[in-house]
Structure 1
Amino acid sequence: MRAAMYYGNNKLDIEDIPEPTPGEGQVKVKVSRNGICGTDLHEFYDGPIFIPPSDPHPLTGKAMPLVLGHEFSGVVTDLGAGVTDIDEGDRVTIEPLYRCGECRPCKSGHYNLCTVIGFHGLMADGGMAEYTVVPRNQIHVLPDSVSVEMGALVEPMSVAYHAAVLGAVGDQDSALIFGAGPIGIGLWFALRGMGLTEIDVVEPSPTRRQSIEKLGARTLDPTSQDVSALIADRTNGNGVDAAFDAAGVAPAVEAALECVGERRPLISVAIYDRPLPTPLINLVLRERRIQGTICYTSDDYRAVVDLMSRGHYDTTGWVDTIPLSGVVEQGFEPLRAGRKMKLLVDPTL
């Protein structure tokens, strides 16, 4: 089978490798689509970062080289011993987390914070291939109303949904999202799914603003508008009930902390390339807080799949498909340059 094999910084080859065979408790999946994540870009251009270069990961036993890809969906083709509640032919999406089950976060139900967490496609051969094998606990069966192609978006949309839940907002609240990339779009969909109507998306890129506006979002341009003053005026100085940083830059964090109301959170969804100065006075005087968020749990996956089954997510204008053979030239390069929003890899092409 063909697969995108990662060998380190700027080294990725499309190779023919043996098809995997499921072991006990595992499921073999024929991959339909695999999304390219910002993490994949960081690994290719700046890595290895999360991918173990030499010492095998403690939960998977894998190190570089390995097959990339952790946002994917497909069809079950084979079952390992002991798997009895999944059928061949089931259309599935993958929750690509390996967890130990023994640490305090795992035992408390927050396995996304596992102290030795691993990811399929970063610490095990992933979904940028024609086939892959995953543990049974990573499988979510898709309902008939959700296409297998849409299933490849469940992972990034669950990242956004988990963050939205941590915002603790209700349908009468207001929210501010910084960044209109895929996670920012996912946050907008998640908050809308929770009943919010008062949502503004702050984005300096005209292309990204136009993309999310076509979905129905209300946007603000920080290059031509004083976002903090506008929000203060609109809310009579009270600020929004939650702000979300999906931009990962200092101006977004600073503006978000000025815009969020007293005792309200800024949810940090971004991965920051460098340390950011934190204006602590904005936290202290108004008892605001910064809340980190990482990944998701099965609850988030189920919530996103349920919203998808009701037609809640619209991929018009921001999701495209490319062939496996073009992962670097048609995938990584245009994403890094900001020419594309979200790309799904078709491993059959």
Structure 2
Amino acid sequence: MHAAMYYGNHKLEIEDVPEPTPGEGQVKVRVSRNGICGTDLHEYYDGPIFIPPDQPHPLTGKAMPLIIGHEFSGVVTEVGTGAINVAEGDRVAIEPIYRCGHCRPCKAGQYNLCTTIGFHGLMSDGGMAEYTVVPVDQIHALPDDIPLEMGALVEPMSVAYHAAVLGEVTDQSRALIYGAGPIGIGLWFALRGMGLTEIDVVEPSPIRRHSIEALGACTLDPTTVDVAELIADRTNGDGVDAAFDAAGVAPAIESALNCIGERRPLISVAIYEKPLTTPLINLVLRERRIQGTICYTGDDYRAVIALMAKGHYDTTGWVDTIPMSQVVEQGFEELRAGRKMKLLVDPTS
């Protein structure tokens, strides 16, 4: 089978490798689509970062080189012994977390915070291949009315949904989203699914503003408007109930902290390439807080799949598919240059 094998910084090769065979408690999946994540870009251009370069990961026993890809969907083609509640032919999305099951977060059901967490496609051979093998606890069934291509978006949309839940919003809340990339779009869909109608998306890029506006979102251009002043005017100085940073830049943090109300959260969904030096006076004087978020749990997957089954998510204008043979040229390079929003890889081409 064909697979995208990662060998290190700027080293990704499309190779012929043997098809995997499921072991105890595992299933084999024929991959339909695998999304390119920002993490994949970081690994290619700056890595290895999360991918173990030499010492095998304690939960997977795998180190570089390995097949990348952790945002994917497909069809079950083989079921290993001991894998229950799944059958050949099942259409599935994959929740790619490996967890130990023994640490305090795992015992509390917060396995996204597992102290030895691993990810399919980062600490094991992943989904940017024609076939992959996963533990059965990573499987989520897709209803028939969700296209397999859409199923590849369950993972990133669950990242956004998990963050939206941490915002502690209600259908009467007002929210701000910084960044209109895929996670920012996912946040907008998640908050809309929770009943919010007062949502503004702060984005300086005209291309990204246009993409999310086409979906029905209201946007603010921070290069032409003082966002904090505008929000203060709209809310009579009360501020928004929650802000979400999916931009990952210091100006977004500084602006958001000036926009949220007292004792309200700024949820950080981003990875920051540079250390933040934002003054905390706005947190202290108004008892505001910055809340981190990472990944998702099965609850988030189920919520996103339920919304998808209702036709809640629209991929028009921001999701494209490319052949795996062109994953670097049409994929990584286009995304890094900002010419594309979200790309799904077809492993059969």
| Normalised-by-shorter TM-score class | over 0.9
Alignment of 1:200-211 (within 5 A): 200-211=200-211
Q: For residue 3 of structure 2, what is the aligned residue in structure 1?
A: 3
1:127 is aligned to 2:127: yes
Q: For residue 237 of structure 1, what is the aligned residue in structure 2?
A: 237
Secondary structure, in 3 states, of the residue corresponding to 2:12? Answer: strand
Q: For residue 311 of structure 2, what is the aligned residue in structure 1?
A: 311
Q: For residue 83 of structure 2, what is the aligned residue in structure 1?
A: 83
Q: For residue 67 of structure 1, what is the aligned residue in structure 2?
A: 67
Q: For residue 223 of structure 1, what is the aligned residue in structure 2?
A: 223
Q: For residue 289 of structure 2, what is the aligned residue in structure 1?
A: 289
Q: For residue 268 of structure 2, what is the aligned residue in structure 1?
A: 268
Taking the aligned partners of 1:339 and 1:80, their CA distance within structure 2 comes to: 42
Cα offset for 1:274?
1.5
Between the aligned residues of both structures, percent identity stands at 82
Q: For residue 253 of structure 1, what is the aligned residue in structure 2?
A: 253
CA deviation vs aligned residue, 1:3-34 (integer Å, no higher than 9, x gap): 00000000000000000000000000000000
Q: For residue 24 of structure 1, what is the aligned residue in structure 2?
A: 24
**Residue ranges of structure 1 left out of the alignment (5+ in a row):** none
Q: For residue 107 of structure 1, what is the aligned residue in structure 2?
A: 107
Equivalent residue pairs, number: 349
CA deviation vs aligned residue, 1:93-131 (integer Å, no higher than 9, x gap): 000000000000000000000000000000000000000
Tell me if structure 1 keeps the 8 A contact 2:84–2:136: no
Superposed CA RMSD in Å reads 0.4
Secondary structure, in 3 states, of the residue corresponding to 2:156? Answer: helix
**Residue ranges of structure 2 left out of the alignment (5+ in a row):** none
Secondary structure, in 3 states, of the residue corresponding to 1:33? Answer: strand
Taking the aligned partners of 1:117 and 1:341, their CA distance within structure 2 comes to: 28
1:200 aligned partner, one-letter code: D
Question: Which deviates further from its counterpart, 36-45 or 84-93?
Answer: 84-93
Q: For residue 278 of structure 1, what is the aligned residue in structure 2?
A: 278
Taking the aligned partners of 1:151 and 1:21, their CA distance within structure 2 comes to: 23
1:331 aligned partner, one-letter code: G
1:254 aligned partner, one-letter code: E
1:14 aligned partner, one-letter code: I
CA deviation vs aligned residue, 1:161-206 (integer Å, no higher than 9, x gap): 0000000000001000000000000000000000000000000000
Taking the aligned partners of 1:108 and 1:85, their CA distance within structure 2 comes to: 24
Secondary structure, in 3 states, of the residue corresponding to 1:190? Answer: helix
Tell me if structure 1 keeps the 8 A contact 2:244–2:268: yes
Secondary structure, in 3 states, of the residue corresponding to 2:160? Answer: helix
2:23 aligned partner, one-letter code: G
Normalising by structure 1, report the TM-score.
1.00
Taking the aligned partners of 1:283 and 1:272, their CA distance within structure 2 comes to: 19
Taking the aligned partners of 2:284 and 2:228, their CA distance within structure 1 comes to: 18
Taking the aligned partners of 1:178 and 1:83, their CA distance within structure 2 comes to: 41
- Runs of 4+ deviating beyond 2 Å: none
Cα offset for 1:278?
2.4
